[in-house]
Amino acid sequence: MSWTDERIDTLKTMWEAGQTASQIADALGDGVSRNAVIGKAHRLGLQARPSPVKTSEPEAVAPVAAAPAPAPVVAAAPPPPPAPEPVEESETVTAPEPVRAPQPILRSVGPGGFLRQAPGEQQPPIAPAPPRRLVPAKPAPEIAGKTSLLDLNDRICKWPLGHPGEPDFHFCGDKVNPGFPYCVQHCGHAYQAQLPRRDRRPPPPLPFGGPRVR
DNA sequence: CCCTGATTCGC
DNA sequence: GCGAATCAGG
């Protein structure tokens, strides 16, 4: 699979949202490695993320004895203010725009790179209208610490807890029983000995609506 | 060992 | 441009 616009977009969005390269690679699927993600991210110019390997530049650390204090120059220049980007207010009248309250909608990025609809948001599909700035949605507090869709990978248990759409829906997240999508405990739930046909319960309650039929 | 991102370099 | 291999810190 190549880097289509959508996939690049997913990469950008997730990268800027702080997702790890592994998570992004997972979401993109199609055998994309985290190396591929990282490589692409860098080529795209995305970068500057706290790297575990610190590039401690030889910061010309003045010897302790040599430089006792920073020269008390006349006017001590204050640190350059972060200068929050001024909102581009162009044409339109300076209407206060009271209506548009930017609700922090939490969307998750699906494996195909599409944006999933948030629980309360049934109707309006993705608005193609470009928002001024993409503010990476911070995970809702309910999900904090939980294993979300984006956390899934090959080695953690994908057993769902709760139901999709519920605010605290998440996944087990334990380490998998090697070779299975679930941890040992949930494998016990997922895989059970075959019962005689007549004794079998009608609705096989499989998570996710069951495995893909393909 | 597991994870992370950065970099290199052959393709 | 791509990404596996490699590096290096947590």
Segment A81-90 shows an average pLDDT of 44
Q: Which nucleotide is nearest to A37 (CA to C1')?
A: C3
How many CA within 13 A on the CB side of residue A112?
3
Assess whether pLDDT exceeds 70 at residue A102: no
Q: Which nucleotide is nearest to A51 (CA to C1')?
A: B5
**Strand B contact with A43 (CB < 7 A):** no
Give the bases of strand B that a protein CB approaches within 7 Å.
Answer: 2-8
The protein residue nearest C10 (Cα–C1') is A52
Give the per-residue pLDDT at A40.
93
Segment A104-114 shows an average pLDDT of 49
Output the furthest CA–CA distance in chain A (Å, rounded): 92
- What is the separation, in whole angstroms, between the first and last Cα of chain A? 20
Residue A104, token pair as written in the block: 């922090």
Q: How confident is the model at residue A38 (pLDDT cuts 50, 70, 90)?
A: very high
Segment A126-150 shows an average pLDDT of 53
Cα–Cα distances (Å) from A52 to A2, A48, A49, A86, in that order, read 28, 12, 9, 33
CA distance A153 to A23: 7
List pLDDT tens digits, range A149-197.
Answer: 666 677 777 777 776 566 666 777 777 777 777 777 776 766 655 655 5
Find all residues with CB under 8 Å of A87, minimum gap 6, and list them.
A132
Q: What angle do CA A183, A186, A191 make, to 5 degrees?
A: 110
Q: Which nucleotide is nearest to A20 (CA to C1')?
A: B4
Whole-number percent of chain A with pLDDT over 70: 35
Give the per-residue pLDDT at A150.
62
Amino acid sitting at position A73: V
**Strand B contact with A18 (CB < 7 A):** no
The protein residue nearest C9 (Cα–C1') is A53
Is the pLDDT higher at A129 or at A174? A174
**Mean pLDDT for chain A?**
61
